[in-house]
């Protein structure tokens, strides 16, 4: 399956997921939980004949012990089935779940992990013997899978189930891939309309005295305004506050809206209500980063789309692009996220690549060309109005910066987040904390040093890398390699698309005109080619360091190159900025600095510096690794034919995720400590780790880590995928490969 549009170099597709011997996918052994646990006939024990006795798993044994009887025991290998994977168990859900938790979940967190000190064995009754014969389930992985399956069965109201053993000892690579495909994407999918507005419009970051669901609708979407007003009218108990945004959005407007924070409307489609037969609106779905979110996020959505496309969830990836186009059309940018306090702030731009990947999947469908046309028009508008306009453009270098507008203290943080920053100013002015914040936000108190601090704070949040010592206190001044690589990719993507798809003539309609453009202005590829060449020259001049063999950020105020070593240097490979010589230098000189046991580090330990009570860990620094850094590096290395390096890095990342998944009850989290071989999901940074807070069974994972897993399986070869399924560390795997090569060569001599 291609993972990169046809305009790029495509890694080989991964082999299909193998079927388990002795159990057939056609028989539904690996159906999603809803299908598996709601099919009544599946859980009727028809194979065992007329006997009707059933047992809760340990109850019969306990009864016999009380009576002083000894039950004959048969080893599992002598059970009624000669095909190991076809074994099935007859289970009473609630008592078995209680027995399992009491015995194996010794720390009481509703998970069974390698840190629990139970006996790690539980006896189940076989279905073919109608509960007469027993079989031992052993080890953390099978027992944690049993806990997960029983938790799901209980959710679907099952009292008794017939459970296939294959669901307990399933190859962990297949199991995690299946969980992502069948459960995690669904658990993270949202839409904004009457069906969800009560939950979605509520904001856990609303610190005002009267938090209530609120939605802001842009002035260019009157049909949505009418729709939400009708929802509010029909359901007064929601207390839904529907507000219309003015045509011009300013920093002052956003500041004043912070007293009434709300959700921002995204794209909707017209549908026919099956109940009434009348036309109505329905929100276009999108995937959120983690389960606690209900708004559309920026670059998370791009990363998630890579996994969605691998799983052929093309319509969902397409609707996310359409939501982004709506945001650019009505809010002027792809927002950090669709809440009112993000209106001045964007995130790393990935729209062109995202749209082209979707188009590559749908190009033979009706409307595909118009979908791509709208996407490219939106990207052109965003490029001109956001990234190469003041205040983000540095006119001296011609490079761009994360430098959003905004006033005052960011309202979306916890109430005490900036206390240590603001307290000296509160004391200086002799007022209360709340009085100072109100006076400062509204300009009655002027503090230029605080203005500078919050300028950089907003820029860090716009960069997506919040937080890191690389950007702290300086972000708004930096022409970063990540942003300028992405804009180079915009320029080359737009040029190639105009040339190859639109016959070198793209007409700009009035709603997408920016700057001095007149309606029906015609764009050709030549000017975009020139922009890309100019940006590459500037990147080479200001960001490339020949001696170190990598790219660094450039401080546009101090007029000098920074020294922080960041994994974002590899974004230049993803975007195609680097020459072959530069790419080779990065692989030789830079890559060894970032490679760890679990994949790529975000930054080097030397660049991060010493940490302690006064200087704590930052989550985008050493020793943490993040899915976006891995994905872009793999793709970039593949682009420049460094196949072995891409496969090695992907294997290490996938192995780390798989090992944690097996050892810690199916956990998949936001970020990992890639230096920890045992428990990499344990992260000691300021925001903790998302994805840990589940009971029994994980339902969502984390968006871009889910994507990195299924995308990474397209990068590694078939031998690697098999080795991952047996939890073979990379060093062991590569040693075996080299020994086999040596043996094969010796036989040729």
Q: Which residues are catalytic?
A: 466, 670
347 is written with which tokens?
């995130």
Instruction: Give the closest residue to 143 by CA, choosing from 174, 119, 178.
Output: 119
Instruction: Give the closest residue to 407 by CA, choosing from 441, 457, 449, 374.
Output: 441
Distance CA 214, CA 6 (A): 43
Instruction: Give the closest residue to 708 by CA, choosing from 674, 732, 665.
Output: 674
Distance CA 80, CA 77 (A): 9
CB 343 within 8 A of CB 335: yes
Residue 359 DSSP one-character state? H
CB 645 within 8 A of CB 591: yes
SS3 state of residue 297 = strand
Q: Please list the alpha-helical segments (H only) found in 251-333.
A: 251-257, 299-310, 314-331
Strands 160-164 and 88-92: antiparallel
> Residue 214 forms beta bridges with which residues?
241
Q: Chain centroid to CA 573: how far? A: 21
Distance CA 530, CA 731 (A): 46
Instruction: Give the closest residue to 671 by CA, choosing from 659, 650, 657.
Output: 657
Separation in Å, CA 563 to CA 61, 247, 361: 67, 43, 41
Q: What is the phi/psi pair of residue 79, to 5°?
A: -70, 180
What's the angle, vertex CA 383, arms to CA 381 and CA 386, rounded to 5?
95
DSSP string, 169-214: S--HHHHHHHHIIIIIHHHHEE--STTTHHHHT--TT--SSS---E
Q: H/E element holding 34?
A: helix 33-38
Instruction: Give the closest residue to 285 by CA, choosing from 195, 382, 414, 400.
Output: 195
Cβ–Cβ contacts within 10 Å for residue 543, how many? Answer: 24
Residues in CB range of 51: below 8 A, 6 or more apart: 130, 132
The residue with tokens 């690794």 is 625
Q: Please list the alpha-helical segments (H only) found in 588-717.
A: 591-594, 605-608, 627-639, 643-663, 703-715
Residues in CB range of 63: below 8 A, 6 or more apart: none
CB 489 within 8 A of CB 575: yes
Residues in CB range of 140: below 8 A, 6 or more apart: 112, 113, 114, 116, 120, 662, 663
SS3 state of residue 3 = coil
Instruction: Give the closest residue to 289 by CA, choosing from 185, 204, 181.
Output: 185
Q: What is the CA radius of gyration of the chain?
A: 28
Q: Please list the alpha-helical segments (H only) found in 57-171.
A: 59-66, 93-104, 140-155
CB 554 within 8 A of CB 399: yes
Three-class SS string for 85-103? HHCEEEEEHHHHHHHHHHH
Distance CA 140, CA 125 (A): 19
What's the half-sphere exposure (Cβ side, CA atoms, 13 Å) at 431? Answer: 13
């Amino acid at each position: 399956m291609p993972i990169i549009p046809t305009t790029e170099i495509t890694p080989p597709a991964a082999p299909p997921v193998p079927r388990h011997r002795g159990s057939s996918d056609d028989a539904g052994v690996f159906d999603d939980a809803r299908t598996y646990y709601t099919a009544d006939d599946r859980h009727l024990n028809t194979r065992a004949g007329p006997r009707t006795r059933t047992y809760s798993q340990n109850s019969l044994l306990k009864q016999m012990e009380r009576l002083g009887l000894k039950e004959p025991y048969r080893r599992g290998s002598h059970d009624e089935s000669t095909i190991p994977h076809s074994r099935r168990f007859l289970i009473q859900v609630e008592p078995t779940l209680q027995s399992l938790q009491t015995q194996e979940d010794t720390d009481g967190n509703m998970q069974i992990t390698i840190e629990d000190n139970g006996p790690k064995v539980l006896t189940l009754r076989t279905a073919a013997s109608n509960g007469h014969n027993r079989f031992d389930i052993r080890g953390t992985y099978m027992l944690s899978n049993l806990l997960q399956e029983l938790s799901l069965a209980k959710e679907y109201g099952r009292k008794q189930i017939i459970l296939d053993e294959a669901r307990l000892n399933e190859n962990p690579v297949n199991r995690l891939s299946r969980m992502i495909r069948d459960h995690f994407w669904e658990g993270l999918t949202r839409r904004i309309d009457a069906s969800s507005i009560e939950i979605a419009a509520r904001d856990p970051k609303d610190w005002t005295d009267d938090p209530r669901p609120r939605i802001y609708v842009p002035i260019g979407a009157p049909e949505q305004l009418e729709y939400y007003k009708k929802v509010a009218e029909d359901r007064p108990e929601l207390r839904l506050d529907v507000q219309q945004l003015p045509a011009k959005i300013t920093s002052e407007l956003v500041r004043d809206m912070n007293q009434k924070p709300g959700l921002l409307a995204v794209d909707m489609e017209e549908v026919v209500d099956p109940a009434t037969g009348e036309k109505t609106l329905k929100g276009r779905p999108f995937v959120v980063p983690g389960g606690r979110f209900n708004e559309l996020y920026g670059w998370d959505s791009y990363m998630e789309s890579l996994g969605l496309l691998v799983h052929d969830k093309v319509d969902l990836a397409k609707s996310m692009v359409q939501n982004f186009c709506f945001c650019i059309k009505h809010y002027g940018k792809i927002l950090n996220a669709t809440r009112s306090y993000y209106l001045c702030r964007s995130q790393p731009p990935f729209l062109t690549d995202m749209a082209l990947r979707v188009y590559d999947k749908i190009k033979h469908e009706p409307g595909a060309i118009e979908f791509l046309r709208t996407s490219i028009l939106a990207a052109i508008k965003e490029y001109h109005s956001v990234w190469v306009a003041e205040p983000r453009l540095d006119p001296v270098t011609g490079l761009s910066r994360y430098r959003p507008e905004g006033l005052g203290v960011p309202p979306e943080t916890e109430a005490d987040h900036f206390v240590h920053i603001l307290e000296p100013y509160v004391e200086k002015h002799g007022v209360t904390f709340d009085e100072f914040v109100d006076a400062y936000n509204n300009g009655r108190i002027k503090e230029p040093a605080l203005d500078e601090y919050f300028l950089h704070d907003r820029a860090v949040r716009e960069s997506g890398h919040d937080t890191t010592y690389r950007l702290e206190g300086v972000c708004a001044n930096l022409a970063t390699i990540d942003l300028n690589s992405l804009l180079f990719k915009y320029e080359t993507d737009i040029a190639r698309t105009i040339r190859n798809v639109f016959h070198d003539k793209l007409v700009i309609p009035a709603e997408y005109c920016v700057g001095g453009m007149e309606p029906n202005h015609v764009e050709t590829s030549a000017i975009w080619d020139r922009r890309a060449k100019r940006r590459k020259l500037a990147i080479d001049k200001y960001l490339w360091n020949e001696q170190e063999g990598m790219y660094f950020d450039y401080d546009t105020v101090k007029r000098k190159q920074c020294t922080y070593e960041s994994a974002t240097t590899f974004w230049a490979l993803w975007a195609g900025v680097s020459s072959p010589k530069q790419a080779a230098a990065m692989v030789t000189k830079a890559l060894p600095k970032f490679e760890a046991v679990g994949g790529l580090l975000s930054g080097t330990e030397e660049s991060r510096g010493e940490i302690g009570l006064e200087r704590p860990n930052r989550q985008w620094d050493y020793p943490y690794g993040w899915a976006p850094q891995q994905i872009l590096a793999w793709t970039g290395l593949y682009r420049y034919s460094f196949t072995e390096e891409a496969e090695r890095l992907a294997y290490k990342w996938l192995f780390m995720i798989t090992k944690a998944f097996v050892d810690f009850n199916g956990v998949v989290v936001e970020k990992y400590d890639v230096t920890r071989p045992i428990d990499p999901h344990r992260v000691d940074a300021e925001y903790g780790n998302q994805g840990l807070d589940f009971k029994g069974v994980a339902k969502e994972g984390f968006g871009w880590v889910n994507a990195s897993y299924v995308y990474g399986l397209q990068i590694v070869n078939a031998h690697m995928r098999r080795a991952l399924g047996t939890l073979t560390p990379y060093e062991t795997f590569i040693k075996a490969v080299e020994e086999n090569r040596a043996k094969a060569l010796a036989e040729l001599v």
